[in-house]
Structure 1
Amino acid sequence: MTTRLTGPPSVVPPRDRGRRLRRTEALRRMSAEVRLSPADLVAPLFVKDGVTESQAVPSLPGQCQFSLDGLLRHGERLVAAGIPAVMLFGVPARKDSVGSAAWASDGIVPRALRALREHFGDRLALITDLCLCDYTDHGHCGPLAGDTVDNDETLALYQRVAVAQAAAGADLVAPSGMMDGQVAAIRAGLDEAGFTDRAIMAYSAKYASAFYGPFRDAAESSPRVGDRRGYQMDPANGREADLEVRRDVDEGADIVMVKPALAYLDVIHRIRRETALPVAAYNVSGEYAMVHAAAERGWLDGPAAAVEVLSAIKRAGADMVLTYHALDVAEQLRKR
């Protein structure tokens, strides 16, 4: 017996075909909603006092605690790749209970700023992390009153740090301590010292995250006692981020930031809708290290994953992304 093949029922061809604009690489690029560029990226850099050779950070593959000479050499690669800005974190030679090395004119960050400014002029925007956790012997973001950070005493010290960094050449200072009133205090301190033209990139929504571990290795800033949950935000909260951003905008912030980024895409999106100011997002050390660890095991394509992660952060609403992927991704993008 012969079996008759009647075929499937007739199908009405779809009129709308999303695949039309996905067919070739050129079409995909033409219709892309987000265009990631080296100009979107800021490179966080660690500079360490008292070293003559840059030192690798094992938990942050590809990242270093730079010597001053190494910092300048790395800066050349960043500029060549089209990256417009760096964020400096200092690793001091000495620490004390108040973090006084943070505002010393001969401290590691002011020296790095002067060296970078002399070498690069205005080819590289210089942003400084403004906090005390790297500089205190207890690892908290300001002087302690008992077991807690003294918020208002810390504000006065942040003013000193901001003025020292601006005097050394910082274009933007970025307060990250999550002290109440920090943006207003820093703005007043800068203006009083004559630095009315220096901008503030506020860590407005900075969460008490589990993703900071490798950073604390690089910055040598782990708390010796307790933790920072009393002043950094609870990861469970989203609406609170709206309040923090509004306060910082009212106090004079020029840029607001969400940190971390990848685990807080919803927060980036809501902040983008909340303000017309530029929104930064910090793709933090743990988020970066996870991609590298998986790539080393062959579990994913590391370079492709990095571009996908940064594109997602930008798609969520970030205008700029601070990321340890910055140089690798910028060089990858320039080859396309």
Structure 2
Amino acid sequence: MSNSLNFDRHRRLRRTAVLRDMVRETKLEVNDFIYPIFVVAGENIKEEIPSMPNVFQYSLNRLDEELQEVSRLGIPAIMFFGIPAKKDALGSGAYASDGIVQEAIRQTKKNYPDLIVIADTCMCEYTDHGHCGIIHDGVVDNDESLGYLVKTAVSQAEAGADIIAPSNMMDGFVAAIRKGLDEAGFIDIPIMSYAVKYASAFYGPFRDAADSSPQFGDRKSYQMDPANRREALLEAESDVREGADFLIVKPGLPYLDVLREVRDRFNLPLVSYNVSGEYAMVKAAAQKGWIDEKKIVLEALTSMKRAGADMIITYHAKDAVNWLRGEE
């Protein structure tokens, strides 16, 4: 049948699977993924997080079980979050030379030296009040907190961290940490800044996993208002100026518009954090049989790359690698 109408035939390039693969604009790869791992003080602990199926807390003597699988799958990088044995007002476990994350870093770099280790640099898991800095009169003291965050970053670098990832959202945190790392001789250690971190309801399962819920108030005075878009660009611009080497937008799916704008404005490597609440919702719906978990996850992760992410921090990383390789 001849075409007497003047219209485009876009379907020509969708006709077969091979053609669709050839013209696909965005492709997920194993090297896109950063896998978060929770390490906890104690012995012989491998405890599943109830709101995050198949995600566990590991004690150091069980940690290599997880690292071996990550290495086997070819996932290039991990990010450590720590749960200490004791907490205090100053979050001293965050910067202790024998802190749980510092010991996990040393163990990983000894046994899996090629694995890139990213250290989350914050205080909320280590403070008895659950906030990301030092408290005075019920308020997080921005400038005093910076000194403790610098101590934490330097201690993590001394332990062997390849990348420092500050997530605290204090004003000036990148400048302070960059100066502190440089003065300690770690001029080659990059900063992966949580440049755009929203005060999101999607963090709930993480706070269970890391035992980091605030004991009073909330974090809205330092994390961003979910309604604000332009402010995200101001935050990212400040971190670029202060010396960040990577930028993170967190959460992922609810903020793809922000991810795209940050990508269009700045040339640094960009990371999307596919957070715990996003993971938990997919897992819950999949367990009910309401969705196809594999298809949903790969579509969601692809959307983050399409929006501009170079890397994705995701609890789905291990499953995603198996699915990309055609395994179930």
TM-score interval, smaller chain = over 0.9
Corresponding residue for residue 103 of structure 2? 111
| SS of aligned partner of 2:191 | strand
Matches within 5 A, 1:156-305: 156-305=147-296
Instruction: Give, as a single letter, the amino acid of the residue that structure 1 aligns with 2:236.
Output: V
Partner of 2:48: 56
The structure-2 alpha-carbon separation of the partners of 1:68 and 1:194, relative to structure 1 and needing over 3 Å to count, comes to same
Q: TM-score, normalised by structure 2?
A: 0.97
Distance 1:155 1:135 in 2: 15
Q: How many residues align?
A: 327
Confirm or deny: 8 A CA contact 1:81 1:330 kept in the other structure: yes
Q: Does 1:98 align with 2:93?
A: no
- Structure 1, unmatched stretches of 5+, are 1-9
1:50, distance to aligned residue in structure 2 (A): 1.0
2-structure distance, mates of 1:220, 1:278? 30
- TM-fit CA distance, 1:11: 6.5
Moved more, 25-34 or 169-178: 25-34
For residues 29-108 of structure 1, what are the structure 2 equivalents within 5 Å?
A: 29-108=21-100
Distance 1:67 1:18 in 2: 54
Q: How many angstroms apart in 2 are the aligned matches of 1:20 and 1:95?
A: 61
Shift of 1:212: 0.2
**Structure 2 unmatched ranges of 5 or more:** none
SS in 1 for 2:85: coil
Cα distance per residue 1:121-166 (max 9 Å; x no partner): 1x21000100000000000001101111010110000110011000
**Higher Rg:** 1
> Displacement of 1:69 after TM fit?
3.2
Q: Do residues 131 (structure 1) and 107 (structure 2) align? A: no
Aligned-residue sequence identity (percent) comes to 55
CA distance in 1, matches of 2:241, 2:43: 41
CA shift, 1:13, in A, is: 6.2
Q: Could you report, residue by residue, the CA deviation over 1:229-258 in whole angstroms, capped at 9, with x for unpaired residues?
A: 000000000000000001000000000110
Supply the AA of the counterpart residue of 2:99.
G
RMSD over aligned Cα, in angstroms? 1.4
Aligned partners of 1:313, 1:169: CA distance in 2, in Å?
30
User: Which residue is 1:26 aligned to?
Assistant: 18
Matches within 5 A, 1:305-324: 305-324=296-315
Task: Read off the aligned partner of 1:79 and give its amino acid letter.
Answer: S
Looking at structure 1, the residues matched to 43 and 239 of structure 2 have their Cα atoms a distance apart, in angstroms, of 37
Whether the aligned pair in 2 keeps the contact of 1:245 and 1:271 (CA below 8 Å) is: yes
Which residue of structure 1 lines up, in the alignment, with residue 323 of structure 2?
332
